[in-house]
Amino acid sequence: MRVFGIDPGSDRTGYGCIDSDGTRHQLVRCGAVRAGSAATFAGQLSIIYRELTALLAEHRPECVAIENIFHAVNARSALKLGHARGVAMLAAIEAGLTVVEYTPAEIKRAVVGYGRAEKPQVAQMVKMLLGLDAVPKPLDATDALAVAICHLHNGSALAKAAALKKPAGLRSWRHYRP
pLDDT for the residue 170: 47
The pair phi, psi for residue 55, each rounded to 5°, is -65, -40
> Contact at 8 Å (CB) between 53 and 95?
yes
Measured between alpha carbons, how far apart are the two ends of the chain, in Å?
31
pLDDT digits (tens, 9 = 90+) for 113-125: 999 999 999 999 9
For the question of residue 94 being annotated catalytic, the response is no
Q: How confident is the model over 84-103, as pLDDT tens digits?
A: 999 999 999 999 999 999 99
DSSP 154: S
CB 148 within 8 A of CB 16: yes
| Annotated catalytic residue within 51, 67, 106, 143 | 67
- CATH (one of 3.30.420.10, 1.20.120.80, 3.40.50.300, 3.40.190.10) for 2-175: 3.30.420.10
* Residues 118, 60: Cα–Cα separation, whole Å: 31
Tens of pLDDT, residues 35-75: 877 789 999 999 999 999 999 999 999 999 999 976 667 88
Sign of the CA dihedral running 129, 131, 135, 137: negative
51, 106, 140, 143: the catalytic one is: 140
Exactly one of 7, 51, 106, 143 is catalytic; name it. 7
Known catalytic residue: 7?
A: yes
Residue ranges of E strands in the chain: 2-7, 12-20, 25-34, 63-67, 98-102
Q: Is 21 a catalytic residue?
A: no
Q: What is the pLDDT of residues 5-28, one digit of tens each?
A: 999 988 899 999 999 998 899 999
Q: Is the pLDDT of residue 163 over 60?
A: no
Residues 6+ apart with CB under 8 A from 43: 35
Enumerate the domain spans of the chain: 2-175
